[in-house]
Amino acid sequence: MKRTTLVCVTIALCLLVTGTSFTQTNVATQTVSLSVQAVSRLSVSGDPGALTISGGVAGTDALTPASDNSTNYRMTTNVVNSRISAQMGGAALPTGIALTVNFGGTQGSSAGSVDLSDAAAHNVVTSIARGASNGNVITYGLAASSTADPFSTSRVVTLTLTGP
């Protein structure tokens, strides 16, 4: 009888210990670092067509200007108050010749027609809010006065999207 009682107590203790081990929980923790960087992305659809001035009206000082609006730009930024600047590479254009650019779009404030002839960087869109914009038209213009010497060149225009 003592032996039966001892066996029963031993079995009960085993069941109790086994039951306890099933209800124990193991806890692990991890530290996850999170970061969203400033993102500013700008792309264009390609190069505009050639701008050629080949005519004018007799008796007027300005030759017939040329323009092209066949390209557009896309942008994405999470930086508030960003801006797009444009700069024509190389030296300034000769006196009497002007290259202009006009950026359309719904993000920010367009500066309108901006003269890039001096080869300096100029803001063309300012006050850009966070977000994305697609299919915004870029219009290039070439103007010349009747006193301008004949001139032919290709220039790279660099567009930059930056924060405030």
| 115 sits in which H/E element | strand 114-115
| Best CA proximity match to 91, nearest among 109, 118, 66, 125 | 118
Whether the predicted pLDDT of 6 surpasses 90: no
Q: If you average pLDDT over residues 120-140, what whole number do you get? A: 97
Is residue 124 situated within a structural domain? Answer: yes
In a domain, 116, yes or no: yes
Per DSSP bridges, beta strands 109-110 and 122-128 are antiparallel
The domain that contains 59 carries what CATH number?
2.60.40
Given a contact cutoff of 8 angstroms between Cβ atoms, the answer to whether 138 and 99 are in contact is no
Span 77-114, pLDDT tens digits = 999 999 999 999 999 999 999 999 999 988 999 999 99
Distance CA 53, CA 152 (A): 10
164, 81 in Cβ contact below 8 A?
A: yes
Lowest mean per-residue pLDDT among 1-10, 45-54, 75-84, 141-150: 1-10
Strand, helix or coil for residue 2:
helix
Domain-embedded: residue 139 = yes
Q: How confident is the model at residue 47 (pLDDT cuts 50, 70, 90)?
A: very high
Q: Which residues contact 125 (CB under 8 A, 6 or more apart)?
A: 83, 84, 103, 105, 107, 108, 109, 110, 111
The average confidence (pLDDT) of the chain is 90
For range 107-129, the mean pLDDT = 97
Residue 25 resides in a domain: no
Binned at pLDDT 50, 70 and 90, residue 8 comes out as very low
Residue 6 domain-assigned (yes or no) = no
Domain range for 66 is 40-162
pLDDT band for 24, please (50, 70, 90 cuts): confident
Residue 145 lies in a domain: yes
Is the predicted pLDDT of residue 160 greater than 80, yes or no? Answer: yes
- Asked if residue 68 belongs to a domain, the reply is yes
Report residue 140 as tokens: 């290039």
Two tokens at 58? 């007799």
The answer, yes or no, to whether residue 149 has pLDDT greater than 70, is: yes
- Quick one: tokens of 21? 């081990």
Q: How many domains does the chain have?
A: 1
- The answer to whether residue 19 sits within a structural domain is no
- Give one word for 142, left, alpha or beta, with left for phi > 0 and alpha for psi -120 to 50: beta
* Cβ neighbours of residue 128 closer than 8 Å, sequence gap 6 or more: 75, 77, 81, 82, 83, 84, 107, 108, 161
